[in-house]
Chain A
């Protein structure tokens, strides 16, 4: 016993030091790895995670009124929505309205209240002009400036804008709204838009992806099987448009496809058509231009995968008696699945976010979600709407990606 324990005792110190040395080496390697990843991680957090988080919160942010008029927001929270709010609410509103003129606060409050009712901006402006320096009875003073302040509805609108968060933008992005009784309901038929826009975005992106696959697969196959000299030349033809500015290519399509453009003139000269076809400023133009722009993103991943497939597999299948088509379909195509998967997901996701091309070559019925995001960001400054449209697109894209990932993985599993 004692000898074993002595043995064990003698053996344990070097073992422990080996362990600790191993641990230290492991730790060092981990630190090195983290050090190497850190710049990228930091970069991703700064330019990706934070902005997206920012966008997601912007879609429910209702901040302008509670920020500019904190007291009014607080007092209106207590109000039951019947009759008129008390004098304290009137007084704090008048004081905060005066103060809001500094720093653009009034502008953002006016914009926010206008979503409740377009009359608010004018009302605030009139009230601002007539606001007395001091008053014992603010209720009286405000109603004298404009009788609208004596109406319950006016204050209810402000109360609606007072909470710091709201679901109105997300609801509006799905053509929904809260009715007078607080229930979620669909907006009027004539104002419904975004469900159709999301649907259209998916259809266009999906269509472009399929066309790209149908055109890109044979092309990539040709590139991968031709001798290097010829395939390099062809590759340049694929890449040349890839290196040209997006705007230039889009403008070129407009010139080619317009009524008196090259395409129509050639078709008419050949006697195929009698009057010019409408090829641009509609869905056809969008497909032409987007497929042209996105095709290289399909060809390149397919090409890189096909380049690695040895032609001897197919030859072996044929020599064993398979029909050449069966050899192609059952032996060659399954090996390209990873390239097809990479190409389709790349093209689809890029197509989802397209903005400039549909805006230039499409009609009003061909605009995708990005168009409305840009519209709300730049034209109307309604960032709540822009952010919630963007958020919904992000969520839908992630869901589609997950489904797709499942499908592709299962296929690959079956193959192996």
Chain B
């Protein structure tokens, strides 16, 4: 960030500095070893049960958990001031790529970790080790539809499946789904999207159902709309649908053509506890520990063996279940980091017409 900024960012920088100071004070008060920062919430509770406690028990390393909202600025402030009090952080993929680009994270030494061949491919990156998989799927309300849709082609088929459809307001996810609906195989979506003709093709496909789309922005909206009958089918985060299913709603997920992405562990550049951080990542990547995490919350493990250790009903809800992975596509974060702004601008202009 440059020096000439919005006053708001000065304020937030002040807040960040203040919280860094308090974090530093807390750190000096309790002589801890490894500080692990996650996004907290239900996922944080699952991590506590699956990773933090067992890791401390089995290795004797002291661990201080914490949570944050994924702000790269806080990590940047720590690295810049040389006052690194967080050692291991949970990162979403776009921030991981940006932070890696700016040198905020230690590059992962995969030789040392020795997990390269064991984890799913997209868990292996320069600066981060994948920890769980979440997915954007096609979901529908089985009560409202006579026949079950099975693909994005069906999503575009307004004659056989009449009614409103929900999509996330934005180019990301939407363009991928449009291309898949137009018959592009999952594996080729990003190759097509990287060309101007491919982008035109995706928007032309979106034109077909423009009037039938109800755009969502918050992850809570799709399941709510499905339950309320506002839309007959929608794209949605799989965890939200699972939660609505648990409440007794008759919602179904189509895994074919789902887009998945990972959250990662990244080691903050300049951490004093790199060795412990590697130990923790290794521990958290073991199938038995991943299985414990996934049984607490319906996010998929990155170690394929972990699926086998879950109960069948649970395993089937995971994006990483073998059956669910068929026809699924990993979000190409590097593509979106580069072309995101251009495509979102085009999307905004298209949607506003």
Binding site for B on A (CB under 8 A): 50-51, 54-55, 57-58, 61, 63-64, 67-68, 101-104, 106-108, 110, 114-115, 118-119, 121-122, 124-125, 128, 190-193, 196-197, 200, 258-260, 281, 359, 363-365, 367, 372, 375, 377, 379-380, 382-383, 386-387
Give CA–CA (A115, B334) in the complex, Å: 16
- CB proximity of B83 to chain A, nearest CB, Å: 14
Question: In the bound complex, do residue B6 and residue A125 qualify as a contact, i.e. CB atoms below 8 Å apart?
Answer: no
- CB proximity of A392 to chain B, nearest CB, Å: 17
- CB proximity of A62 to chain B, nearest CB, Å: 10
Minimum-distance CB pairs A-B, first 3:
A364-B351, A193-B349, A101-B103
- CB proximity of B229 to chain A, nearest CB, Å: 5
Instruction: Judge whether B102 is part of the interface by a CB distance below 8 angstroms.
Output: yes
Question: In the bound complex, do residue B80 and residue A102 qualify as a contact, i.e. CB atoms below 8 Å apart?
Answer: yes
Give CA–CA (A196, B348) in the complex, Å: 11
Q: Knowing A108-B1, A259-B230, A260-B230, say if A196 contacts B352 (CB, 8 Å).
A: yes
Q: List 17 A-B contacts (CB under 8 A).
A: A57-B4, A67-B3, A103-B76, A104-B80, A106-B101, A107-B1, A119-B338, A121-B338, A122-B338, A197-B352, A259-B228, A260-B228, A364-B215, A375-B348, A379-B344, A380-B341, A383-B5
Give CA–CA (A61, B348) in the complex, Å: 24
Nearest A residue (CB) for B104: A104
Task: Label chain A's interface by main secondary structure.
Answer: helix
Question: In the bound complex, do residue B5 and residue A365 qualify as a contact, i.e. CB atoms below 8 Å apart?
Answer: no
Chain B residues contacting A192 (CB-CB under 8 Å) are: 349
Question: In the bound complex, do residue B341 and residue A114 qualify as a contact, i.e. CB atoms below 8 Å apart?
Answer: yes
Question: In the bound complex, do residue A121 and residue B169 qualify as a contact, i.e. CB atoms below 8 Å apart?
Answer: no
Scan B165-191; emit 1 where CB is below 8 A from any A CB, else 0.
000010000000000000000000000
Q: Knowing A102-B103, A190-B350, say if A118 contacts B342 (CB, 8 Å).
A: yes
- CB proximity of B1 to chain A, nearest CB, Å: 6
Chain B residues contacting A55 (CB-CB under 8 Å) are: 6
Instruction: Judge whether B345 is part of the interface by a CB distance below 8 angstroms.
Output: yes
Task: Label chain B's interface by main secondary structure.
Answer: helix
- CB proximity of B204 to chain A, nearest CB, Å: 11
Give CA–CA (A205, B1) in the complex, Å: 34
Question: In the bound complex, do residue A364 and residue B338 qualify as a contact, i.e. CB atoms below 8 Å apart?
Answer: no
Chain A residues contacting B98 (CB-CB under 8 Å) are: 107
Chain B residues contacting A106 (CB-CB under 8 Å) are: 101-103
Chain A residues contacting B205 (CB-CB under 8 Å) are: none
- CB proximity of A152 to chain B, nearest CB, Å: 22
Give CA–CA (A387, B203) in the complex, Å: 29
Question: In the bound complex, do residue A107 and residue B101 qualify as a contact, i.e. CB atoms below 8 Å apart?
Answer: yes
Question: In the bound complex, do residue A63 and residue B4 qualify as a contact, i.e. CB atoms below 8 Å apart?
Answer: yes
Chain A residues contacting B80 (CB-CB under 8 Å) are: 102-104
Contact of B101 among A61, A110, A260, A365 (CB under 8 A): A110
Q: Knowing A102-B80, A106-B103, A107-B101, say if A372 contacts B6 (CB, 8 Å).
A: no
- CB proximity of B66 to chain A, nearest CB, Å: 22
Instruction: Judge whether B30 is part of the interface by a CB distance below 8 angstroms.
Output: no
- CB proximity of A7 to chain B, nearest CB, Å: 66
Give CA–CA (A49, B169) in the complex, Å: 35
Instruction: Judge whether B58 is part of the interface by a CB distance below 8 angstroms.
Output: no
Chain B residues contacting A121 (CB-CB under 8 Å) are: 101, 337-338
Give CA–CA (A104, B5) in the complex, Å: 14
Q: Knowing A115-B341, A122-B334, say if A364 contacts B102 (CB, 8 Å).
A: no
Instruction: Judge whether B214 is part of the interface by a CB distance below 8 angstroms.
Output: yes
- CB proximity of B46 to chain A, nearest CB, Å: 28
Give CA–CA (A103, B269) in the complex, Å: 12
Chain A residues contacting B102 (CB-CB under 8 Å) are: 101, 104, 106-107
Question: In the bound complex, do residue A359 and residue B344 qualify as a contact, i.e. CB atoms below 8 Å apart?
Answer: no
Chain B residues contacting A193 (CB-CB under 8 Å) are: 345, 348-349, 352
Question: In the bound complex, do residue B6 and residue A58 qualify as a contact, i.e. CB atoms below 8 Å apart?
Answer: yes
Q: Knowing A50-B7, A193-B349, A196-B352, say if A63 contacts B2 (CB, 8 Å).
A: yes
Question: In the bound complex, do residue B348 and residue A364 qualify as a contact, i.e. CB atoms below 8 Å apart?
Answer: yes
Chain A residues contacting B340 (CB-CB under 8 Å) are: 380
Give CA–CA (A54, B228) in the complex, Å: 46
Question: In the bound complex, do residue A281 and residue B342 qualify as a contact, i.e. CB atoms below 8 Å apart?
Answer: no
Instruction: Judge whether B68 is part of the interface by a CB distance below 8 angstroms.
Output: no
Chain A residues contacting B228 (CB-CB under 8 Å) are: 258-260
Question: Which residues in window 324-353 of B have CB below 8 A to A?
Answer: 334, 337-342, 344-346, 348-353
Question: In the bound complex, do residue A260 and residue B4 qualify as a contact, i.e. CB atoms below 8 Å apart?
Answer: no
Give CA–CA (A121, B339) in the complex, Å: 10
Give CA–CA (A55, B5) in the complex, Å: 8
Instruction: Kindly list 20 other residue pairs between chains A and B, CB separation below 8 angstroms, not including A107-B101, A259-B228.
Output: A51-B7, A54-B7, A55-B6, A61-B4, A63-B4, A67-B3, A102-B80, A102-B103, A104-B102, A118-B338, A118-B342, A190-B203, A191-B346, A191-B349, A197-B352, A258-B228, A281-B215, A363-B214, A364-B348, A364-B352
Question: In the bound complex, do residue B1 and residue A104 qualify as a contact, i.e. CB atoms below 8 Å apart?
Answer: yes
Scan B73-115; emit 1 where CB is below 8 A from any A CB, else 0.
0001000100000000000000000100111000000000000
Question: In the bound complex, do residue A377 and residue B6 qualify as a contact, i.e. CB atoms below 8 Å apart?
Answer: yes
Give CA–CA (A365, B228) in the complex, Å: 23
- CB proximity of B309 to chain A, nearest CB, Å: 38
Chain B residues contacting A365 (CB-CB under 8 Å) are: 351-353
Q: Which of A63, A193, A197 has the most CB of B within 10 A?
A: A193
Give CA–CA (A191, B349) in the complex, Å: 6
Chain B residues contacting A375 (CB-CB under 8 Å) are: 348
Instruction: Judge whether B217 is part of the interface by a CB distance below 8 angstroms.
Output: yes
Nearest A residue (CB) for B99: A107
Chain A residues contacting B214 (CB-CB under 8 Å) are: 281, 363
- CB proximity of A151 to chain B, nearest CB, Å: 18
Question: Which residues in window 1-27 of B have CB below 8 A to A?
Answer: 1-8
Chain A residues contacting B3 (CB-CB under 8 Å) are: 63, 67
Chain A residues contacting B342 (CB-CB under 8 Å) are: 118
Question: In the bound complex, do residue B103 and residue A108 qualify as a contact, i.e. CB atoms below 8 Å apart?
Answer: no
Contact of A125 among B2, B101, B350 (CB under 8 A): B101
- CB proximity of B223 to chain A, nearest CB, Å: 14
Give CA–CA (A191, B203) in the complex, Å: 12
Question: In the bound complex, do residue A191 and residue B76 qualify as a contact, i.e. CB atoms below 8 Å apart?
Answer: no
Chain A residues contacting B339 (CB-CB under 8 Å) are: 118
Q: Which of A64, A122, A200, A364 has the most CB of B within 10 A?
A: A364
Give CA–CA (A25, B185) in the complex, Å: 87
Chain B residues contacting A377 (CB-CB under 8 Å) are: 6, 8
Give CA–CA (A193, B349) in the complex, Å: 5
